[in-house]
Structure 1
Amino acid sequence: MPTWPFDNSYAALPDTFYARLSPTPVAAPGPIRVNRALAAQLGLDADWLASPEGTQVLAGNALPEGAEPLAAAYAGHQFGGFNPQLGDGRAVLLGELLDTRGERYDIQLKGAGRTPWSRGGDGRAPLGPVLREYLVSEAMHILGVPTSRALAAVTTGETVYRDRALPGAVLTRVARSHIRIGTFEYFAARKDTSALRQLADHVIARHYPEAAHSDNPALALLQGAIARQAQLVSQWQLLGFIHGVMNTDNMLLSGETIDYGPCAFMDDFHPEAVFSSIDHNGRYAWCNQPSIAHWNLSVLAQCLVPLLHDNQAQAVALAQAAVDAFPERFLAAHQQGIARKLGWQGSAEGDRELVEELFDLMAAERVDFTLCFRSLADFADPGSPAPKVDGLFSPPASLLPWIQRWQGRCEQDGRSAAERQGAMYRANPVFIPRNHLVEDAIAAAVDRADFGPFEALLARLSEPFDYDPQARRYALPPQSGEVVHQTFCGT
Structure 2
Amino acid sequence: MSFNLCGDDACQPTPPTPLPNPYWVAFSPSAAKLIDLELGSDEFPKDPEWLDLLAGNQLHVGEHLFSNPISTAYSGHQFGSWAGQLGDGRAILLGDINHLELQLKGAGRTHYSRMGDGRAVLRSSIREFLCSEAMHALHIPTSRALSVVGSKQAVRREAMETAAVCSRIAPSFIRVGHFEHFASLQNIVRLKELAELLITQFYPGCHEQKDPYLYLFKEISTRNAKLVANWQSVGFCHGVLNSDNISVLGLTIDYGPFGFLDHFEIDHICNHSDHGGRYAYHRQPQIMHWNMACLASAMLPLVELGHSSEESQILLRSALEEFPVIYAAEWQRAFRSKLGLQSEEDGDIELIERLLQAMHDSRVDFTNFFRGLSNLKKDSSPIEIVQRNEFIDRENIDLWFADYIQRLQRESLSDGAKKDTMNLTNPKYILRNHLAQVAIEKAQQDDFSEVQRLQQILMNPFDEQEAFDHYSKPPPVDMQRIVVSCSS
The interval holding the TM-score normalised by the smaller chain is over 0.9
CA deviation string 1:148-177 (max 9, x = no partner): 111111013311111111111000011121
Moved more, 414-423 or 247-256: 414-423
Matched residue, 1:185: 180
Equivalent position of 2:349 in the other structure: 352
SS in 1 for 2:318: helix
CA distance in 1, matches of 2:452, 2:50: 20
TM-superposed CA distance for 1:44, in Å, is: 1.8
Residue matched to 2:29:
36
Distance 1:258 1:400, change over 3 A: same
1:469 Cα deviation after fit: 3.8
Which of the residues 420, 423, 432 maps onto 1:422?
Answer: 420
CA contact (8 A) 1:380 1:420 kept: no
What is the one-letter code of the residue matched to 2:91? A
- Structure 1 position 50, deviation (Å): 5.8
1:71 maps onto 2:64 in alignment: no
Q: Give per-residue Cα distances to partners, 1:340-391, cap 9 Å, x unaligned.
A: 10111111121111111111111111101111111211114799xxxxx969
Q: Whole-Å Cα distance in 2 between the matches of residues 92 and 185 of structure 1?
A: 20
Among residues 155, 161, 167, which one is paired with 2:162 in the alignment?
A: 167
2:153 aligned with 1:158, yes or no? yes
Provide the aligned C-alpha RMSD in A: 1.9
Query: AA paired with 1:160?
Result: V
8 Å Cα contact 1:275-1:485 kept in structure 2:
no
Find the residue that maps to 2:151 and give its secondary structure.
Answer: strand
Deviation at 1:107, TM superposition (A): 0.4
What displacement does 1:41 show? 2.3
Aligned residues of 1:76 and 1:249 also touching (Cα < 8 A): yes
The 5-angstrom pairing of residues 121-160 of structure 1 reads 121-160=116-155
Distance 2:432 2:322 in 1: 34
Distance in 1 (CA, whole Å) between partners of 2:203 and 2:157 is 40
Q: Aligned ranges for residues 318-337 of structure 1 at < 5 Å?
A: 318-337=315-334
Distance 2:171 2:101 in 1: 6
Question: What residue is the counterpart of 1:54 in the other structure?
Answer: 50
Residues of 2 paired with 1:349 and 1:12: CA distance? Answer: 49
Matching of residues 309-458 of structure 1 within 5 Å: 309=304, 310-380=307-377, 394=390, 397=394, 398-446=396-444, 448-458=445-455
Give 2:55's aligned amino acid.
Answer: A
Question: 8 Å contact 1:234–1:330 — kept in the other structure?
Answer: yes
> CA–CA distance in 2 between the matches of 1:392 and 1:175?
43
| CA distance in structure 2 between the aligned counterparts of 1:125 and 1:326, rounded to whole angstroms | 35
1:76 aligns to what SS in structure 2?
A: strand
Deviations, residues 311-334 of structure 1 (Å, cap 9, x unaligned): 110111111011111110100000
Paired letter, 1:87: G
Secondary structure of the residue that 1:292 maps to in structure 2? Answer: helix
How many equivalent residue pairs?
473
- Residue equivalent to 1:298: 293
* Runs of 5+ consecutive residues of structure 1 not aligned to the other structure: 1-7, 99-103, 384-388
Q: Is the 8 A contact 2:378 2:409 kept in 1?
A: no
Paired with 1:471 and 1:11, the residues of 2 have a C-alpha distance of: 45
Q: Give the share of equivalent positions with the same residue, in percent.
A: 38
Report if aligned partners of 2:5, 2:190 keep a CA contact under 8 Å in 1.
no
TM-score normalized by the length of structure 1: 0.93
Q: 1:231 aligns with which of 226, 230, 234?
A: 226
Shift of 1:32: 1.6
Q: Which amino acid aligns with 2:35?
A: L
Contact 2:362 2:390 in 1 (8 A): no
Of the structure 1 ranges 478-487 and 177-186, higher mean CA displacement relative to structure 2 is found in 478-487
1:449 Cα deviation after fit: 1.3
Partner AA of 2:459 in structure 1: S
SS at match of 1:344: coil
Q: CA deviation at 1:13?
A: 4.8
What is the CA distance between 1:193 and its match in structure 2? 0.6
Task: Write the letter of the residue equivalent to 1:219.
Answer: L
User: What is the letter of the counterpart of residue 59 of structure 2?
Assistant: L
Which residue is 1:3 aligned to?
A: none
Within 2, Cα distance between the matches of 1:407 and 1:181?
A: 44
Question: SS in structure 2 opposite 1:114?
Answer: coil
CA–CA distance in structure 2, aligned partners of residues 349 and 157 of structure 1? 59
Residues in 1 aligned to 2:113 and 2:214: alpha-carbon distance in whole angstroms: 34
Q: Secondary structure at the match of 2:148?
A: strand
Give the residue type in structure 1 aligned to 2:328: L
| Corresponding residue number in structure 2 for 1:242 | 237
Shift of 1:214: 1.2
**Residues 60-106 of structure 1 deviation map (CA, whole Å, 9 limit, x = unaligned):** 110024322000110010101111210000110001222xxxxx321
Alpha-carbon distance in 2 for matches of 1:421, 1:277: 37
SS across alignment from 2:336: helix
Superposition deviation, residue 49 in structure 1: 3.3
- Pick the aligned partner of 2:462 from 455, 460, 465: 465
Q: Say if 2:237 and 2:259, in contact at 8 Å, map to a contact too.
A: yes
Do the aligned partners of residues 145 and 482 (structure 1) sit closer, same or farther apart at CA in structure 2, a change above 3 Å counting? Answer: same
CA contact (8 A) 2:145 2:167 kept: yes
Where does the alignment leave 5 or more consecutive residues of structure 2 unmatched? none
Give the direction of change, closer, same or farther, for the CA distance of 1:444–1:243 in structure 2 (3 Å limit): same
- Runs of 4+ in structure 1 deviating by more than 6 angstroms, as ranges, are 389-393
Q: Is the 8 A contact 1:26 1:157 kept in 2?
A: no
Asked whether the equivalents of residues 197 and 307 of structure 1 are also in contact (C-alpha less than 8 Å), the reply is yes
Cα separation, partners in 2 of 1:122 and 1:150, compared to 1, 3 Å: same
Question: Residue 482 of structure 1 aligns with which residue?
Answer: 479
Give the equivalent residue in structure 2 for 1:196: 191
